[in-house]
Amino acid sequence: MSDWHHELGVFDLETTGVDVESARIVTAHVGLLGANGEVKHGRYWLLDPEVEIPAEATAVHGITTELAREKGMDAGAGVEAIVDQLRRLFDRGIPVVAYNAPYDFTLLDREARRHGIEPLSSPGPIIDPLVIDRAVDRYRPGKRTLTVTATHYGVELIAAHDAAADAIAAGRLAQALAQRHGEELAIGAVELHSKQVDWCREQAADFQEYMRRVRDPEFTASGAWPVHAWPA
């Protein structure tokens, strides 16, 4: 078995919305897990996103506009700190886990550009348990949310939609995947990163074909992973 899962960075954002081009960061966590899933290091940020936090978003993560304005740090300084922590992990060759990585890494890229901060350039290696689980257990029925998938692999997730809880659970889920599907995932982190690029593209194509067949003939799904290209 490869040792890519012996030391993992973990990363999660909670935000103002689902559109990566316009949503803002509200909370974030970047941490480091050891081989047994123990937390070796972690940093948590609460940012003032400089926009109203919609009620729908507050209902998910619990952060109101008033709380973010009172307790949150400057958005630009927070984004810079998050980017810096991730860059340090990648510079050390440590894989970083993010569940549904294109959401978190694309949104962080847009926030960096918005605040005049140098974004991460071709970040990696990244481990995305959502993409991996869909690849190694393609036909399992049911939803593939972090909560559902963590439960399936016996990973505890308390306080879902808390950035720290989600990040840590995603990291432990990656380790559980490595244990259960050791033969298929017994490769290096860089090779696994490359495989996920292909897997995500194939998964998006399959989903697009299904949606066009059953619901919307014009439906499109992006297979870009782990960061969506900057709009032309």
Give the confidence band of 232 by pLDDT, cuts at 50, 70, 90. Answer: low
Place of tokens 């194509």: 205
Range of the structural domain that residue 176 is part of: 8-214
Give the tens place of pLDDT for each residue, 35-82: 999 999 999 999 999 999 999 999 999 999 999 999 999 999 999 999
Residue 191 token pair: 């090779």
Q: How many angstroms separate the CA atoms of 8 and 37, rounded?
A: 9
- For 90, residues 6+ apart whose C-beta sits below 8 A from its C-beta are 96, 120, 123, 124, 125
Per-residue confidence band for 2, with pLDDT thresholds at 50, 70 and 90: confident
pLDDT surpasses 60 at 34: yes
pLDDT band at 145 (very low <50, low <70, confident <90, very high): very high
Does residue 1 register a pLDDT over 90? Answer: no
Distance CA 54, CA 43 (A): 25
* 219 located within any domain: no
Q: Which of 98, 104, 103 shows the shortest CA–CA distance to 127?
A: 98
Residue 115, SS3 per DSSP = coil
Pick the closest to residue 87 from 108, 115, 114 (CA basis): 108
DSSP letter (8 states) at residue 148: H
Which residues are registered as beta bridge partners of 203? Answer: none
Counted domains in the chain: 1
Report whether pLDDT(201) > 70: yes
Which CATH number do you get for residue 103? 3.30.420.10
What average pLDDT does this structure show over 72-97? 98
Residue 52 is predicted with a pLDDT of: 98
In a domain, 110, yes or no: yes
Average pLDDT, the chain: 97
221 found inside a domain: no
Mean pLDDT of 99-119: 98
Nearest CA-CA partner of 165 in 176, 177, 155, 180: 155
Cα–Cα distance, 37 to 221 (Å, whole number): 33
Residue 222 lies in a domain: no
Task: Report d(CA 168, CA 32) in Å as an integer.
Answer: 9
Phi, psi of 205 (to 5 degrees): -65, -40
Average pLDDT value for residue range 175-192 = 96
- β-strand 96-97 against 126-127: which pairing, if any? parallel
pLDDT at 25 over 70: yes
Determine, yes or no, domain membership for 229. no
User: What CA–CA distance (Å, rounded) separates 69 from 217?
Assistant: 43
What is the C-alpha to C-alpha distance for residues 211 and 214, in angstroms, rounded to an integer?
A: 5
Share of the chain above pLDDT 90, in %: 96
Structure token digits, residue 60: 């998910």
- For residue 57, being part of any structural domain is answered with yes
pTM (two decimals):
0.96
Q: Are 222 and 102 in contact (CB under 8 A)?
A: yes
Q: Are 60 and 66 in contact (CB under 8 A)?
A: no
Give the model's confidence band at 32: pLDDT under 50 very low, under 70 low, under 90 confident, else very high: very high
227 found inside a domain:
no
